[in-house]
Amino acid sequence: MSKIRRSTRGLNFMLIRRFSVYSYLSAVEQPRINPVGIQYLSKKLDKQIFPSKRDSKVSHDDEYLIELSKQYLETHGLLGKKTNISDPISFDIPKLQGSNLDDHFKKLALFSSQNYLENAKKLAEIDLPPKPNNFKFQAGWFKYIDGKTLKVDYPDDNAIIFDVETQYKVSNYAVMAVAASATAWYTWVSPIMTGESTTYEHLIPLNTQKKEMVIVGHNVGYDRARIKEEYSLQETKAFFLDTMSLHIAVSGMCSQQRMKWMAHRKLKNDEESTEDLIHESEANDPWINYSSPNSLAEVSQFYMKQQLDKSVRDNFSTSDLELLKQKFYELISYCADDVLTTHKIYKTVLPEFLEVCPHPVSFAALRHMSSGILPTNKLWNEYIETAERLYVESRQKVESSLVDLAEQAVELRNDPGKFQNDTWLNQLDWTITPLKLTKKGEPYKNQKLPGFPQWYRELYSTKDKKPIITTRSRITPLLLRLQWEDYPVVWHDLYGWSFKAESSDFERLKKKNYVNLPYFEKTYKKTKEEITEMEEKGELRNLSDIELSSFYGEKIKDEFVYFRVPNSVGPEHRTTLLLAKEFSTPFEKSILKSENPLAQEAIKMNSSCSYWISSRERIMSQFVVPSTEEYSLIIPQVLTMGTVTRRAVEKTWLTASNAKKSRIGSELKSRIIAPPGYCFVGADVDSEELWIASLVGDSMFKLHGGTAIGWMTLEGSKNEGTDLHSKTANILGISRNEAKVFNYGRIYGAGVKFASVLLKKFNPQLTQEECAKRAKALYAETKGQSGKYYSNKQRNKIWFGGSESVLFNELERIAHKNDPKTPVLGASITKALKKSNLNLNSFLPSRVNWAIQSSGVDYLHLLCVSMNYLITKYSIHARLALSVHDEIRYLVKEEDRYRAARALQISNLWTRGIFSENLGMNDLPQSCAFFSAVDIDHVLRKEVDMDCITPSNPIAISPGQSLDIRELLNIPESELGESKRLGLSKIKLSEIENFVEKSDDVSNSMDNFDFKKALIQMQVSTNDKDFKKHWNRFKSNEYFKRNNEFYEEITKLDGVSSFVSKNKVKNPTKLKASEKSMDSITTKNIETAPIHGPSTITSKRPLSIQDAEEEIKRRELEMIFFKDGTGPNQRSKPTSDSNSDYPGSKIIHSNRIKGQSRTENNNVNEKQSKDFKRQNRLDKSNQTSSTLKPDFTKENELRLNLSLQSDYKIPISSSNPFSSSSSSPLSEESYLSKHLQDSPKPKQYTRVAKGGHSLADENNFFKAQRQTRIRKDTRL
């Protein structure tokens, strides 16, 4: 019986397991595929993510965009390519807290931060109490309020300004701290200062485990690392708000601006600088007055014009604790002054930040980003000891061998023939200083190595009693007898490391693109002053000209030629270190070599120790605080917004590399080890910034994968060769991994020059011309060609024809706005990069890069806020450990690891969803909706299967677990379980001001669908002719549409003129630029289809009668100019082909007399224009006003009516006594005869010239007006 029960339980388990395996798949649902082959979310998930979306038919406008997208993809060979279609994923996710994702995230953010935000605002609105005159020199916290001093356990306010001071050369622990709130001041003193303890190891209590508190500081991450409650696996209720980060987000500067800012400050401080020079500098770069560096002193000077005296801080550099005790009151007062200054900055910068980043998510995420924690154990100290020991041993071994080589070389000092004939050793200074003797024949004291050559004396250390030589010493390549291209290396003070080759080998080396140095010997061992003097005397040409001309070849007459050893930065840079890690590849290829095996060992040592050399100080100074015997904790001192793009910055953990087998200490991240019972759960956002950038482009088509770059990002396959990196690799002839550098560099704004230099670095065998040619081909294929059009009274440049043209145009459109904002959370660019604050330098690459990277920061902030909500709602024991740009890792209890993994996938789903929704696409591709995998691991590392074996860690680390969404949903323990009621429905949302920048000219903005379609047509054009054709057609249709709207408006007015008042047009119809309607457009005729659409143009004020009558006259003249095919405001003369759709487009060409030059023809037009203007003035002089008189001649009125019909295409109503019943247009003669045959002949004419003119004269005027079609300005 028991066996049967066990069997039944097993069967039930199998059934449950089988059911769970397929529970996320829809048994009957077919995949949802968009028109370009991209699979969307299942219907169930789609309804949960976009609940407000309604099923509706695709509009004509959307169909048009889809057809354009297909055409675009077909041009780049992507339409119809294989895409990855899989079973739809379907499961239940938590219900949105709002009608859409934006409202949902606003509520999640306010739930996380509303109380903190209120307290933070209150602290910014008040003034601090007066600073106490006296401070208590006792250990612990003391409160100063209303003149009283009270002993307290910790500050009891919910918002404070906080600052700590350390004896930083002795210990990482604080020796004193000061806090201030709206009501009181507080001081804390370490027991070691008062003699109550003999150890520095004291942390500052703030009671933040039990009480919510806003803690404000300048670089507050440093202060956080000294707070007691932060060293706990349980997250505290503190919100660390950093004024340095707030300043950087509001008024920070990019790296290119920093150098200019420093130069400007130097100019201002220079006594010889004139005011005019300073003003000129500020006029060229106005942004200088809108930004500053980030230190407290600089920021104080920037916001309050307050100069801080930071000299007192030097006292904390002492290692003498007694000195600090003696100066306690001075030092604690200095700390309090910093608190005062920080509060003044905070009062200014917090409101500005909330205006610059108005979305609640941008503020709420700062709490999570500043709460990271990194656990480790006893292996941390072993790691440091092992890495340092190996580094010292390797260095000493190589340096000892180098000293032996120097000792061997110095033995030749008495045999000049040997070292003079040695190409390497003869470069050394063999000058020997003889032994000096007194009159008594005794040697003088303190003589340094008499009888030894100068080069040896310079190396010798009297303290160590031996020469000191390292791999970075100038003499090392000579002692190792290094060769480049089988020729000895030679040092030149001006050129750096070069090599001396035989002149017969010149052509071969020139083809390899080496830079020849024809005046090498003439300038060898000359000082810079001597070389300058030689140039002034004309003995030398400019050295840069020499190198350039010699690069293209000059006849070589000398026995030897000299070439520069190439530098990875570029051919114009000199090489100063040959044993650097970047020369490992040339060494492996035997381009750089030596017969001495020590050279290989030195290169290997330098490469192996490079990571530890560059990182050892930062790693060894980490503040590791023991928590229990099983684990210790490190607080990463993160600057939550450390760049202008609001990226987080931390000098060790956010820059840590992955483990490499040959690099000592590179296993650093794996030394972060989860405590017993915990693990790390995290993921990398797949192609985060590339997807965001491509999504911006796709939004133009309102279709995922609508652009070539968007399609490749979502569905590009390495096997099919359709992914972005494979395409770039094929164009440049490089590997796919190398292509990634080019792609990300291009997306971030790097140009052709960058690609050319980088290609040369990857393939030194290519010539500069070939590198430039391939780089240009890459940018022509990707970024496209540059085109120009006139809009909004200015010239605009856009890219067209490339796979990334639409993307770059959108990014540059954002960058060129007066106030660029991220498309999802609406965060603004810093003041230093705002267009209004730029002049001589546009910093366009930095502004384009800002749009992408700052959106990437928005992505991470959304993830953090979402995870916080799910962790709280479902009681998941997890907290953020570390976030590195596109990586996020949580420290989670083992039993909750799968629930945390599912929460992470749901958060990513919501985040991708809001990006799509806010960019106008209420759909989401299944391929990017989820993380490709969520990692569950016991150490911190890039991949769960990395063994992390390095020279300092020979033992492999056991692998972790990596789960994709399907595998995760198969695990029953991943169900989120019971949820708490958090009361988010009670949160009221306030409207955030629309951050979409409106154009002054609505017709030429993205709000006008006609303009948008024309712009897309131009961008997907493959040649300049099509590009111009689409823009000219749009301008033509737009001009006619403006005319229609004007005449529709004036027909609503009474008494505009006699013909308007008597013959008012009834039921006016819209003008069509072509007989075809949009409904008839198909894929075949899409290229020639007219642009149409509802008008978005509205009058700025009501049209008056006088305005209308004056506008009629203006437009009559304007229409004549327009019918030449260029339009009244068009600056370029279109071709006859591009004017084929314009009425009257061929007339202007018929005006040119056969055989006449353009200049001659322009002279004719100019004469005709003058005659026309003269006649017009003649008519005006006989009128009493600028309006048409009521007694205007019947025939002239008919002629005006006829002119309006032909020129403006104003329909003549059938009820109008002067209208024609015929559907075909009448000729002028038949029209006049028809309407004048029954009319009495008028006795007199009102409009008579001063000398008198006949009706025939007036007839000729009207004919000239309709037929001549003169250009107003022959340049147009």
Residue pLDDT, tens place only, 143-182: 999 999 999 999 999 999 999 999 999 999 999 999 999 9
**Of 272-286, 845-859, 963-977, 1015-1029, which gets the smallest average pLDDT?**
272-286
Neighbours of 734 (CB within 10 A): 18
Distance CA 488, CA 423 (A): 7
For 741-765, write each residue's pLDDT tens digit: 898 888 888 888 888 888 887 887 7
User: Is residue 1042 very low, low, confident or very high in pLDDT (cuts 50, 70, 90)?
Assistant: low
Q: Output the CATH code of domain 126-252+295-356.
A: 3.30.420.390
Paired tokens of 72 = 């675009």
Q: Which of 233, 181, 234, 171 is nearest to 203 (CA)?
A: 171
599 vs 830, which has greater pLDDT?
Answer: 830
Query: Tokens for 61?
Result: 């406008």
Does 1076 score more than 60 pLDDT? no
Distance CA 636, CA 666 (A): 18
Clarify whether 1010 is annotated catalytic: no
Whether the per-residue pLDDT at 272 is higher than 70: the answer is yes
Q: For 630-658, how does the pLDDT look when each residue is reduced to its tens digit (9 = 90+)?
A: 999 999 999 999 999 999 999 999 888 89
N- to C-terminal Cα distance for the chain?
101
pLDDT on residue 580 = 81
For the purposes of burial, counting CB atoms within 10 Å of the CB of 742, is it exposed (0-12), middle (13-18) or buried (19 or more)? buried
Active-site residue, from 157, 163, 858, 1010: 163
| pLDDT > 90 in the chain, percent | 49
Residues facing residue 179 across a β-bridge: 162, 186
**Which value, in Å, is the radius of gyration of the alpha carbons in the chain?**
39
Q: Of 49-63, 1094-1108, 1132-1146, where does mean pLDDT reach its minimum?
A: 1132-1146
Average pLDDT estimate for 1193-1200: 48
Whose CA is closest to 840, among 382, 186, 214, 287? 287
1163: three-class secondary structure by DSSP: helix
For the stretch 547-606, pLDDT in tens is 433 333 344 446 788 888 988 777 678 888 888 877 877 888 888 988 888 888 888 888
Mean pLDDT on 978-1002: 71
What pLDDT does 1043 receive?
A: 64
DSSP string, 739-780: HHHHHHHHHTT--HHHHHHHHHHH-TTS-HHHHHHHHHHHHH
Whole-number pLDDT of residue 693: 93
Please give the angle made by the CA atoms of 904, 906 and 908, to the nearest 5 degrees. 70
Q: Which of 345-354, 542-551, 1261-1270 has the highest mean pLDDT?
A: 345-354
Q: How distant, in Å, are the alpha carbons of 64, 697, 805, 916, 1012 from that of 700?
A: 12, 6, 12, 12, 8
1089 or 238: whose pLDDT is higher?
Answer: 238
Residue 1263 confidence (pLDDT) above 50: no
Q: How many CA atoms lie within 13 A of 865 on its CB side?
A: 30
Buried-exposed string 594-616: b where 16+ CB fall within 10 A, e elsewhere:
beeebbeebbbbbbbbbbbeebb
311 pLDDT above the threshold of 70: yes
* Token output for 721: 């060769």
**Using CA atoms, how far apart are residues 735 and 732, in angstroms rounded to an integer?**
9
Question: Shortest CA distance to 653 belongs to which of 263, 278, 986, 940?
Answer: 940
Q: What is the pLDDT of residue 947?
A: 93
Q: Can you tell me the distance from the alpha carbon of 1149 to that of 1137, in angstroms, rounded to the nearest whole number? A: 12
Residue 1141 is predicted with a pLDDT of 36
Spans of all domains in the chain? 126-252+295-356, 254-290, 1042-1267
Q: Is the pLDDT of residue 1146 over 50?
A: no
pLDDT confidence of residue 292: 94
pLDDT digits 0-9 by tens, 1167-1185: 445 554 555 554 444 443 3
* Neighbouring-strand partners of residue 460: 467
1051 vs 1265: which has the higher pLDDT: 1051
Better-predicted residue by pLDDT, 738 or 1261: 738
Of 621 and 1182, the structure prediction assigns the larger pLDDT to 621
* pTM, to two decimals: 0.79
Q: SS3 for 625?
A: strand
Across 643-686, the runs of DSSP E, i.e. the strands, are: 678-684
**pLDDT tier, 534 (very low <50, low <70, confident <90, very high otherwise):** low
